[in-house]
Amino acid sequence: MKVVVYSVIDEAGKGIAKELLNLVKYSEAEVPKALKAYVVKDLDTIIACFREDVIYFDFLDEVFSKYDVNYYIVLSRHSAKSGIKSLTVHHTGNLTSSAQAGGRPYELSVSNPPVTKELLLGLVKAREEFGLGDFEVTYEVTHHGPTGIKKPLTFIEIGSSIREWVLSNAHKALAHVVLNVITKERTNYCKAVVGVGGPHYAGTFTKRALTSDECYGHIIPRYSLRELKNNVGRLREIIIKAVTLSSVTTKEFIVLKKVGKVVKDVINEVASDLGVKVTVV
């Protein structure tokens, strides 16, 4: 069972869900805590709405416990002071001691590299089809809650302000992208990797994913590494979690060359222990 969720207080999520429901045949379903829930039997999918904001969806495993969940897709807005128009995908987790946006410190959810890459590829195509050419399509790094979800989870978002969150074309674009992914059987191979380094908008890793067989799970940015490098034990813990908390086996670290020696040394140690390749770019 594939599960698509959103919040009643999220204009982007509500809009995407409305367009998605217009594209499928559904019947009402009962899900604990859900304000509304729908089952799309021919796609083996549930679409559900909750009162809580999406970063506080720590209850997902509990409320969907009677279902055999393959993965979650969260429909969401993306906020940024820059106001840059964006269509983003990312995994969730708090890489450091800070947990100001849901979840718990030093805790990561399970990433979903193949599904997240398909969403990314879909956004590139839909951007042109739905007249959103001025939107940037990108991976974001791992950040915010929920963090303790046991099934793979991916956020797909419209950013970065209310002007974009309410755009009907953006809603339609993301609805079609999500529909294509939940309709598709997982047959395409991709090489699951963990990205290390760089800024919040993971441009280098996005470009690599769009031009190779790499599909990214957790991405650890330089701003998190600044804190983690001061506690090698925590750094090692996070690196291990980034590799192991994935829907598929992680094959490789892709490390940006500006990452410092302390971090690279820990990555090399973990990679050796877990049989993971390291590539510095």
pLDDT category at 193 given cuts 50, 70, 90 is very high
Read off the pLDDT of each residue in 207-231 and give the average, rounded to a whole number. Answer: 97
- CATH 3.40.50.10700 describes domain 191-280: yes
**Alpha carbons 224 and 226: distance in angstroms, whole number:** 5
> Tell me, what's the pLDDT at 210?
97
pLDDT of 188 above 80:
no
pLDDT of 212 above 60:
yes
**Domain 2-183 superfamily per CATH:** AF0625-like (3.40.630.50)
> Tell me, what's the pLDDT at 261?
96
Q: Locate CATH 3.40.630.50 in the chain.
A: 2-183
2-41 pLDDT, tens digit each:
999 999 999 999 999 999 999 999 999 999 999 999 999 9
Which residue would you say has higher pLDDT here, 195 or 189? 195
pLDDT category at 81 given cuts 50, 70, 90 is confident
pLDDT of 97 above 60:
yes
Read off the pLDDT of each residue in 176-203 and give the average, rounded to a whole number. Answer: 91
Mean pLDDT of the chain, nearest integer: 96
pTM: 0.97
> Tell me, what's the pLDDT at 31?
96
Q: Locate CATH 3.40.50.10700 in the chain.
A: 191-280
3-class secondary-structure state, position 276: coil
Parallel/antiparallel/unpaired status of strands 27-28 and 86-90? unpaired
